[in-house]
Amino acid sequence: MRPSLHLANWIDLHITLGLRRRTSVTTSADWNSLEVAKLAVSALTPLLVLVLTVVVNFRTKRLEQSWNEADRVAEKRVYLYDQIGIKANKIFCYVFFVGNWKETSPVDILALKRELDAAMHTYRPWFSDNFFRCYTEFIAASFAEYKELGSDAKIRSTLGDREARFPGPWNPEWNKMLLDEYETGRIRKAYDDLREGIATELRLRAPKLGGR
């Protein structure tokens, strides 16, 4: 009986030691895996931060470039519409004998028309169809075009006392540049529509001239 008892104790002892060794090995393996994971995260974190920084900087630069391009286009559009408005106003004043019409010659008015035509056709894709229509109607109301093949347009306005009021020498040939027509209602409406068209393009509002 005693040998059997010693054998049973010996077996229990070895089983207990084996379990302890396995527990120790498992705990050590778990600890090693956790440390490896921590080291991996620690190593990858700077790399992830770097990648995110590069991506954010790239997107920011792209956005800044887009904004700068949009600003340049907006500034160009404002300048263009401003020039159209100023030159159209000079034509309107000359036809109606208002403003600084006395200091302006028919040659100056025809030159303004050519500049406006060049700008409108050069930047045609920038303009809405309605605004381009308003412009063509204003030009048609202010000038008679293609009266003769190869000839210049003529200004739809009367000679009046332009020669007497002009501050410099008056060229008699300038008289032929005036058509001696004065379509008051048409030119007023066309000019009013053009100004409203500019305001619409720039998202502004322009007062009408109907009460003048």
Q: Please, what's the largest Cα pairwise distance for the chain?
A: 150
Q: What is the pLDDT of residues 1-18, one digit of tens each?
A: 444 445 455 445 445 545
pLDDT for position 97: 94
Which tens digit of pLDDT belongs to each residue from 5-57? 454 554 454 455 454 544 444 455 555 676 766 666 676 677 677 777 777 77
What digits encode the pLDDT tens for the residues 95-138? 999 999 999 999 999 999 999 999 999 999 989 999 999 999 99
How much is the mean pLDDT over the chain? 79
Q: 150-178 in b/e burial notation, b at 16+ Cβ within 10 A?
A: eebbbbbbeeeebeeebeeeeeeebeebb
Helix (H, G, I), strand (E, B) or coil at 143: strand
